[in-house]
Structure 1
């Protein structure tokens, strides 16, 4: 009898050691493949039971999404990723180097394939937004063959939408699926990250039946998601003009695998009645940020999207969204700085993510005494109007002329300390 030295097992572990035991597949999760010669001796597993402790398995999956081939950030190698789904779950698969070049061309989004002999490992949640503890890596032994049968039970994509008012209870840096109406689009921001890399971003505001929340779009990420259609809003053409305003019939946007962030902004939560169309409460600070793995789609052909648009046209567009200031105590320990230090560290430049926050002690040396201006009448636009001298007023943000205006408070003061000075503006409350 041959004995195995226990110490040798732990010198070269093949998978991370976990406290829990792997879930063994039930007999209902396994069937036998008979129509594919090269893998006919393997058993057909469901995606939900795959784990690193299995060796001989085959899955039958649909390609729900596939990224373009891209190069490593620290080298010349190539990689691509795709989302695989079946009747039970979904899993992310990635191919590197030669495996990328060999397998990426044969995988077509929407088609069904048999896949076997790939590596299953614990998911790196920094790059993987799918709801699966594991992910897959293609290798030289991986076999992929098309499934010629029509399998309607395998969906085109797996979506688990979260209502906006539920996001306040979700941990930051979690990944969720959200769908909403595009209510407003902020100005484009160009800047440099802390790594001194240029970026272009634009924030949009989305609305559903339960509330609204800002979403940050990064141009280098979303440009690959362009679905340009004549006469319709697309992800990429949001960045084509400095002032972009969606049509009166607002677009529906779907975001799968968008990241929840803790930020100064947040969810506006309201209770809606026909007699009192107002926001009645406000939640904790949250915002959403699009990552490279986030899937975006404008006006998706989904029942929930059609229902949301119908609700908006019949009820949602009549809601009076009150401008609420969200209070937060998360910056209690921020540092004190002088105006000179602000200039030196360029803290007035936006950075990737949350920007810079600081405290400053200064003296008010001048106050402008014209605290009211004529603003656009749209609830989501506060742009100062230009007088056309013909009884109408022009909004450069909406690119529309109005016969009326609303008066909003705004004033500017000059703050000074021993090192410098800065004009500061205050709006409304």
Structure 2
């Protein structure tokens, strides 16, 4: 097949300015004459991504450019090599110290050729680059050297493109992935995707405050931090979602323990840093994701961060747990996410995020940026201060996931990324795991092996039937704000913690009930979420029935029994009335989804265990 390259493209590109949007956004057919990995720029520090320089030919001329790092996989997978013919679908043009920097942002492979097409020459008279790696040039340090650098002339045809004023800098900005400590005169055009709260700190040198933001453009992300007086001045000027021109900051090596970004550098915002809002926001995505499937979370190390997108299968009520570092109570809410990998994972929201969370619809798609990976009895996720959560984002991955779930994904039997524990000095608790369901007798024997001195709980998954519910003390009067017990005082109900008085209490379940399976019987304890699942109504309604009519209340208790549920249990040794015992608290209760249960049994029949005994003929 005869390949026709776009003659004149390199010449047009050589004389283009960053405002030639039509040229940069349209498609062009060219050939790769050279593909070379660029050497590391920071001695002793590995870059998170390699950079590749390419030479593009239109058959008549050739010109140099860089590959955006998101295209590196095309090189690693051998889709790009010497003499490959490609279609350049989008590129960007910037100037760094009066030098043109072309970056290929989106390309498509057309064919693989064995020879060069035509006899191209350079548009500026240079020769093809040699394979020897380039070394970074040291910055000039003397006044004369700076004057010499500032007086250098731009390449032919670029006399009007060199940034010389503040208005010119607005069109000649620098890509984030090209920033390094070796550059001083730069301007980035970037969107603020995350802005932290103002934080206080204390060191041996004194106290202060700071905040940080994440800047993002189409090439990458970088974290920026401001301290004290600078933080006070810049904090109200930066808003999440808006785009800014940023210049005169200091580029340093990133402190990885404070950042979840892959960038090896970060920006220090200083007194002379210039920030100006940009109203032209084209070609700047709202958030840059690098998604990991739920099933692949096992390949990510503990305490690392990941971007995850999934369907919200279910979520819990807000609960409180005591902080390990202090005596204050922390609010949390747990979400269960599923995706096409057939796996599910538990993700925890904390504080205001937990209280304010509300799904936009049933089973929404939620994308998470920079959540922390934990090993809480398997793999779990947690939101941190720099994490970003977006419901139903307008991105291709979200639309694909929505279509998959609505067209049959909801029928999949998902495998949790958490697992239940056996005793080994204490384990963490995860989500309900159907594949590790234990009979009540096995649970009891295993829990009884917990040493008397060990206060760490065990977690189990089990399936059992409710046989009896103690009805004498089924709920307690609670505060509407903190859920603590309130005391009747005069004409109202007072909460000592909140120092508030309510005209009526908000009742919350506190259940003790017996369950049974084929191996035996145990007593479980559960709180509000458990009671609402078992009774199918709020605790206020049940207490109203109990106070009004004992017979109707007894019927309600009877109707709540003889139903089977999946339980996630927390078994812990404690002392009651000077008696040492094992207490089984219900962490989660799930009504049986018989479609999922049947699918799980069918999946089990396909395993070697399910196929044992079948030899192709009758056994009878």
Task: Identify unmatched segments of 5+ residues in structure 1.
Answer: 1-15, 224-234, 239-245, 265-284, 349-355, 359-367, 374-381, 388-392
Contact 2:331 2:350 (C-alpha < 8 Å) held by counterparts: yes
SS of 1:126's equivalent in the other structure is helix
SS of 1:62's equivalent in the other structure is strand
Contact 1:371 1:409 (C-alpha < 8 Å) held by counterparts: no
Residue 227 of structure 1 aligns with which residue? none
Correspondent of 2:344 among 206, 212, 218: 212
Residue 306 of structure 1 aligns with which residue? 399
Residue 252 of structure 1 aligns with which residue? 365
Residue 18 of structure 1 aligns with which residue? 44
Decide whether aligned partners of structure 1 residues 67 and 156 sit closer, same or farther in structure 2, where only a CA change above 3 A counts: same
Q: TM-score, normalised by structure 2?
A: 0.46
More displaced, 163-172 or 103-112? 103-112
For residue 405 of structure 1, report the CA deviation from its aligned partner: 7.7
Counterparts of residues 186-225 of structure 1 (less than 5 Å): 186-198=316-328, 199-210=330-341, 211-220=343-352, 222=353
More displaced, 121-130 or 419-428? 419-428
For residue 334 of structure 1, report the CA deviation from its aligned partner: 5.9
Residue 584 of structure 2 aligns with which residue? 425
Residue 55 of structure 1 aligns with which residue? 184
Contact 2:345 2:418 (C-alpha < 8 Å) held by counterparts: no
Residue 178 of structure 1 aligns with which residue? 308
Residue 242 of structure 2 aligns with which residue? 111
SS of 1:102's equivalent in the other structure is helix
1:162 aligns with 2:295: no
1:371 aligns with 2:519: no
Contact 1:25 1:49 (C-alpha < 8 Å) held by counterparts: no
CA distance in 2, matches of 1:161, 1:324: 17
Residue 114 of structure 2 aligns with which residue? none
Residue 256 of structure 2 aligns with which residue? 125
Cα deviation per residue 1:115-138 (whole Å; 9 max; x = unaligned)?
Answer: 222122222233211221221110
CA distance in 2, matches of 1:319, 1:25: 42
Residue 71 of structure 2 aligns with which residue? none
Residue 152 of structure 1 aligns with which residue? 282
- Cα RMSD of the aligned pairs, angstroms, is 4.6
1:394 aligns with 2:526: no
SS of 1:77's equivalent in the other structure is strand
Task: Identify unmatched segments of 5+ residues in structure 2.
Answer: 1-41, 54-63, 67-93, 99-160, 428-448, 460-512, 522-528, 542-555, 590-620
Aligned residues: 338
Decide whether aligned partners of structure 1 residues 370 and 70 sit closer, same or farther in structure 2, where only a CA change above 3 A counts: closer
Q: Greater relative contact order (Cα 8 A, min sep 6): structure 1 or 2?
A: 1
Cα deviation per residue 1:229-255 (whole Å; 9 max; x = unaligned)?
Answer: xxxxxx7145xxxxxxx6872222221
1:289 aligns with 2:382: yes
1:45 aligns with 2:45: no
Cα deviation per residue 1:256-286 (whole Å; 9 max; x = unaligned)?
Answer: 000111111xxxxxxxxxxxxxxxxxxxx20
Correspondent of 2:356 among 210, 214, 236: 236
Contact 2:338 2:414 (C-alpha < 8 Å) held by counterparts: no
Correspondent of 1:142 among 247, 268, 273: 273
